[in-house]
């Protein structure tokens, strides 16, 4: 029996909607990263993009546990001296509420050329409206804790 390897042009991509309202950021991000990589499919191949598109709505209503709104920090650096910038999760939410979930998912993907292509399939929106109705996305229900 031969080993099956998926080819990028043979993969059927679906569109999923994830409602992040009143959900913890990390728990939502793990499910999104799994869908983006394609690990939920039987044809998963590590070196081929077999994942689906994910639309995340209501990112402004997400939750962080504990005191992460003040303690969690995001850093950026331009490689010039003295250009290190930091902001807390609360400041990031005020500036752009989609940044937090985007960074959480990006951190759960491997650091390689494929993941830089995979992260472009993640679409995040602060409200309930999105411009992807023509793709007929399906609602992804997050598993509940027992």
Tens of pLDDT, residues 68-113: 999 999 999 999 999 999 999 999 999 999 999 999 999 999 999 9
Does residue 133 have a pLDDT over 90? yes
> What's the pLDDT at 146?
63
The mean per-residue pLDDT over the stretch 123-137 comes to 96
98-103 contact pairs (CB < 8 A, 24+): 98/56, 98/59, 98/124, 98/125, 98/126, 99/74, 100/25, 100/59, 100/62, 100/64, 101/20, 101/25, 101/28, 101/29, 101/32, 101/56, 101/59, 101/62, 103/74
pTM, two decimal places: 0.92
Distance CA 119, CA 102 (A): 8
Tens of pLDDT, residues 39-59: 999 999 999 999 999 999 999
The mean per-residue pLDDT over the stretch 5-27 comes to 94
> Any idea which residue has 């985007």 for tokens?
102
> What's the pLDDT at 48?
94
* Domains along the chain with CATH numbers: 14-139 (3.90.1180.10)
> What's the pLDDT at 128?
95
The mean per-residue pLDDT over the stretch 124-145 comes to 93
> What's the pLDDT at 110?
94
> What's the pLDDT at 1?
81
Does residue 144 have a pLDDT over 90? no
Tens of pLDDT, residues 20-43: 999 999 999 999 999 999 999 999
């Amino acid at each position: 029996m031969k080993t099956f390897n998926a080819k990028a042009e043979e993969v059927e991509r679906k569109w999923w909607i994830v409602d992040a309202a009143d959900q913890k950021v990390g728990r939502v991000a793990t499910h999104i990263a799994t869908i983006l990589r394609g690990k939920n499919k039987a044809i998963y191949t590590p070196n081929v993009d077999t994942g689906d598109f994910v639309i995340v709505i209501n990112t402004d209503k997400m939750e962080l546990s504990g005191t992460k709104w003040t303690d969690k920090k995001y850093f950026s650096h331009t490689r010039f001296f003295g250009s290190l910038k930091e902001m807390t999760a609360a400041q990031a939410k005020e500036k752009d509420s989609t940044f937090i979930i985007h960074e959480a998912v990006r951190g759960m993907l491997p650091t390689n050329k494929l993941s830089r292509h995979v992260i472009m399939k993640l679409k995040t929106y602060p409200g309930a409206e999105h411009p992807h109705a023509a793709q007929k996305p399906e609602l992804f229900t997050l598993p509940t804790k027992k």
